[in-house]
Amino acid sequence: MKVITLTLLSLTALASQAQASSPDAWAAYDKTVLASCTKASGLKSPKPVGTPAQFDDRVGFTAVLLQGQYPQKHMKGQQGSELCLYNKQSKTAFVTEWDSIRPATKTH
């Protein structure tokens, strides 16, 4: 009887851990990630491209691709892309330029 009770308690604990977060919780998290990434960005008026990439908790990061304009005068408003990695544990955003993601434009 004790074995069955322990097994049921273990299964109940596992089931409660396996439940996904609510849609509202995910929306709030995505909003936090986007705000942190936008703040860390060096681009003018950065906007997300697509949806965030949610990595497994073992990795601990969410990735967001941002697009905006370079603020430097010599860049003449050129479009730029940045990859933002948001650390779930430290709640910190790290950004790097990632213009290579866009196809090169051909000039003739």
Is 48 a member of any domain? yes
What local confidence, expressed as pLDDT, does residue 94 receive? 98
Is 9 a member of any domain? no
In which domain, by residue range, is 87 found? 43-102
Is 24 a member of any domain? no
Q: How do residues 18-32 score in pLDDT, each as one tens digit?
A: 456 899 999 999 999
Is 19 a member of any domain? no
What local confidence, expressed as pLDDT, does residue 44 receive? 95
- Distant-in-sequence, close-in-space partners of 85: CB < 8 Å, separation ≥ 6: 61, 62, 63, 93, 94, 95
Q: How do residues 33-65 score in pLDDT, each as one tens digit?
A: 999 999 999 999 999 999 999 999 999 999 999
How many structural domains is the chain composed of? 1
Is 68 a member of any domain? yes
Q: What is the mean pLDDT of residues 73-95?
A: 95
Q: Decide: 36 and 91 in contact? Cβ < 8 Å.
A: yes
Is 90 a member of any domain? yes
What local confidence, expressed as pLDDT, does residue 8 receive? 37
SS3 label, residue 22: coil
